[in-house]
Amino acid sequence: MDDIIQYGMVGGDVKAFIGEVHRKAFAFDPRARLVAGAFSVVPEYHELTADTYHVAKDRRYLDYREMAEKESQRPDGIDLVVICTPNALHYEVAKEFLLHNISVLCEKPLCFRKEEGEELLKITKEKDLLFAVNYGYTGYPMVKVAKEMIKKGELGTLLSVHAEYLQDWLLAAADPKTREESRKKIWRLNPKMSGSSCALGDIGTHAENLLKYLLGERPSQVFCEKENYGQELDLRDEILLRYPSGLKGSISVSQIALGHLNGLSFEIDGSEASLVWHQENPDHLFLTKKGRGTEDLSRSSTALQGYAASQAYRRLPAGHPEGLYEAFANHDRTIVTNLLKRKRKEVLGPEDEDYPHGEDGLEGVEFVEACLASASKQGWVDFIGDEPNKGGVNV
């Protein structure tokens, strides 16, 4: 079956949010098939999910270790595992499948500690597998058009860069009256489950990854002011960035800002033009050229026909909205193509690498660590060590 990629899933039962998104996004691609899974530690949810997706009885696993073992032994075993478990399990699940020669698409964060991430990348490299981490927001076509504009130099010299990721759904955790109840109900507020930070790890890394994707480089230094609201848990952060080139930037992160549902955005200011994009209005990119008014560029519109990304990620005509499923599906399509080419021993082109890599996941872990270190010392910390720009592929 060299024209089909079979995938399995660990976690992500039908009661959870992100598993469904991945299944729908893969369903856009007739070359991908869900055939195996360990969907939940709750047997009822696991079976319900397997039934819903017509997973064969012998490919339903309650233990992911068994799944890795058995699938790796089948001649028609899965090509890819999609990991949607709570954050705390990402590392061990990913490692298990890699060791069984199965490529991985892991939800973010990649892991909790830098050493774990480095180990996963090492195994991936040794076994020549694909390892993707789901920074899904860079899958939006207009983000890719923005990257292309920057790369072509259309913005001139970059003068400053900014990203925001503002939400309000953890507001109750900042309120002394409801704080304790929130912490009990929401696993993201439990450091053992979600990692050593909340806002930084959950959404701050998305903002950092978005800037990295757009610019093709990571900051050399970060400064983080962590806002704790009377407890160790961070819910709001201001992060300042210094780049090797001298460029400066900032990231604002909040999960307690009423009126912001999922407000990821960026602004890139250059000497010739600036770009603004908002995740909640993803089909539009706002371009201001020097001496002109701000121009609203719509995905797939004639104004963008000269951009490769606008062509490659064209699904619906201009004015017909696309959303987050389609952004995920854009990366999933690349991952499926990449895996098929690997199967067929074909040469991978740069366009086959335009998905978020394990290296991006590791950078996210390092970013959280650097921010926490900065917040602790109330000063700047180095973000790039002795290996500048070692991050993921820049298409």
Residue 237 sits at φ, ψ, to 5 deg, of -145, 145
**Which residues, listed in sequence order, are joined to residue 34 by a DSSP beta bridge?**
7
Q: Does 281 bind a second copy (CB under 8 A)?
A: yes
Site for a second copy in 38-77 (CB under 8 A): 52-54
Q: Is 298 in the site for a second copy (CB under 8 A)?
A: yes
Closest to a second copy by CB, 46 or 357: 46
Residues 205 to 224 in contact with a second copy, rule: CB under 8 A:
223
Is position 245 an interface residue for a second copy (rule: CB under 8 A)?
A: no
Does the protein bind a second copy through residue 315 (CB under 8 A)? yes
153 in contact with a second copy (CB under 8 A): no
Q: Which listed residue (113, 157, 181, 388) binds a second copy by CB under 8 A?
A: 157
Helix intervals (H) in 17-160: 18-27, 43-52, 64-73, 90-99, 114-127, 141-151
The alpha carbon of residue 252 and the mean position of all alpha carbons in its chain are separated, in whole angstroms, by 18
Question: If binding is defined by CB under 8 A, does position 360 make contact with a second copy?
Answer: no
Let me know the angle formed at the C-alpha of 24 by 19 and 27, rounded to the nearest 5 degrees.
125
Residue list 167-206, contact with a second copy (CB under 8 A): 167-169, 171, 174-175
Interacting span for a second copy (CB under 8 A) from 71-79, 96-104, 184-192, 291-299: 291-299
Among 280, 311, 349, 390, binds a second copy (CB under 8 A): 280
- Joined together, the tokens standing for residue 352 give 């086959």
Q: What is the CA radius of gyration of the chain?
A: 21
Given candidates 8, 204, 263, 364, which one binds a second copy under the rule CB under 8 A? 263
Per CB under 8 A, does 238 bind a second copy?
yes
**Paired tokens of 49:** 């999910």
Question: CB under 8 Å to 140, separation ≥6 — which residues?
Answer: 279, 282, 327, 330
Residue 204 CB, nearest approach to a second copy (Å): 15
Find the binder of a second copy among 65, 70, 289, 341 (CB under 8 A): 289
- Residue closer to a second copy by CB (options 263, 361) is 263
Helices (H) and strands (E) in the chain, counts: 14, 14
At residue 174, the 3 state secondary structure works out as: helix
